[in-house]
Amino acid sequence: MQTLKQESLKNYTSFKIGGPADIYLPETIPEFIDLLKEYPQAFILGGGTKMLFPDEGLVLPVILTSKLNKIEETPQGIQVECGYRISHIFDFAAGIPVTAGGALYYNFGAFGHELCSFVDKVRIISSKEDKWLFRKDLFFNYRESSLKENHQIIAEVIFNKKQLSHTKSFLHLRQEKQPLKFPSAGSVFKNPQGNYAGKLIEACGLKGLKDGDAEIWEKHANFIINKGQASCQNVKSLVKKIQESVKEKFGIMLELELEIYGAKDHDLKI
């Protein structure tokens, strides 16, 4: 097992933002469980595609799942470890380094598909338990899951099938509509019911607004990009500006899809 002392978290997130932390990289599920026993409060990090970490880093250790990436086709289905990149088996994840654990935790979805539709069973672990949950035991909603609500740690997932028929077309669409040339964390806000966060932000005239090297993308306002050395504070300032502007103009409080470490959705403590 590899250990990285005071390693910059910016190297492990798609936003390229974050300070130092002690990072542990288990290579087997038993090693993962041993780490949870030793560090029960550790932060679990997968692909880092939805995370914004503080510039000062983390005191708590980080368990990075990238080496837990085994896949096996079984009679039950396609069994993958939590660090496996689902773009290898699902076309709607093409171009995004999202892992099975993180994707299921937030019920990743795109192009009319949600990951929960393909789930058969999930193995959850902690310092005290190790068990499989069936699909019927789980609850999923738009970017939500009972796994997230109950703070459960995903070790493995069994999917009932793979889907790769539209990989090229979905990747092309993503390249056209998302800022793949700049570090970002994908959509910053969830779409409110019956509306689109990007349209509301654009209607507030916020496209292109900057704070340091963080910028609300000019092509799609629900993306914040890092144009160089953006800080966590830069991004949080733009998030706060967006929420305040949309609330004032439309009476809607946009809910974060981005996960800001140590912050609650309506209390960013900036």
pLDDT bin (cut points 50, 70, 90) of residue 268 is very low
pLDDT greater than 60 at residue 266: no
Tell whether 266 is covered by a domain: no
pLDDT in tens, 6-64: 999 999 999 999 999 999 999 999 999 999 999 999 999 999 999 999 999 999 999 99
The answer to whether residue 52 is domain-embedded is yes
pTM assigned to the model:
0.92
pLDDT score, position 262: 74
> What CATH number is attached to the domain comprising 137?
3.30.465.10
DSSP 196: -
Q: What is the mean pLDDT of residues 191-219?
A: 98
Residues 186 and 221 in one domain: yes
What percent of the chain is modeled with pLDDT above 70?
97
Specify if 19 maps to a domain.
Answer: yes
Counting the structural domains of the chain, the total is 3
Pairing of strands 2-8, 20-25: antiparallel
pLDDT score recorded for residue 176: 84
Same domain, 56 and 75: no
> Which residue segment(s) compose the domain that 38 sits in?
2-64
80 within 8 A of 71, measured Cβ to Cβ? yes
If asked whether residues 140 and 79 sit together in one domain, one would say: yes
Residue 114 lies in a domain: yes
With beta carbons less than 8 A apart as the criterion, state whether 49 and 186 touch.
Answer: yes
CA 71 – CA 159 distance, rounded (Å): 11
Angle 153-260-25 from CA coordinates, rounded to 5°: 45
The CA distance from 198 to 224, in Å, is: 11
Cβ proximity of 108 and 186 under 8 Å: no
Residue 48 located in a structural domain: yes
55 and 77 both lie in a single domain: no
Last residue of a domain, one of 48, 64, 80: 64
Say whether both 77 and 155 belong to one domain: yes
210 in a domain, yes or no?
A: yes
User: CB–CB of 50/257 below 8 Å?
Assistant: yes
First-residue to last-residue Cα distance in the chain? 37
| 175 located within any domain | no
- Give the CATH number for residue 196: 3.90.78.10
Residue 224's Cβ-side half-sphere holds a number of Cα atoms within 13 Å equal to: 35
pLDDT-based confidence at 270, cuts 50/70/90?
very low
CATH of the domain at 53: 3.30.43.10
| pLDDT tens profile 117-163 | 999 999 999 999 999 999 999 999 999 999 999 999 999 999 999 99
Burial zone of 93 (CB within 10 Å; 0-12 exposed, 13-18 middle, 19+ buried): buried
- Whether residue 252 sits in one domain with residue 187: yes
Task: Give per-residue pLDDT as tens, 224-264.
Answer: 999 999 999 999 999 999 999 999 999 999 999 999 997 54
Where in the sequence numbering do the catalytic residues fall? 143, 187, 257
Q: Which of 64, 80, 108 is the last residue of a domain?
A: 64
Q: What is the pLDDT of residues 92-115, one digit of tens each?
A: 999 999 999 999 999 999 999 999
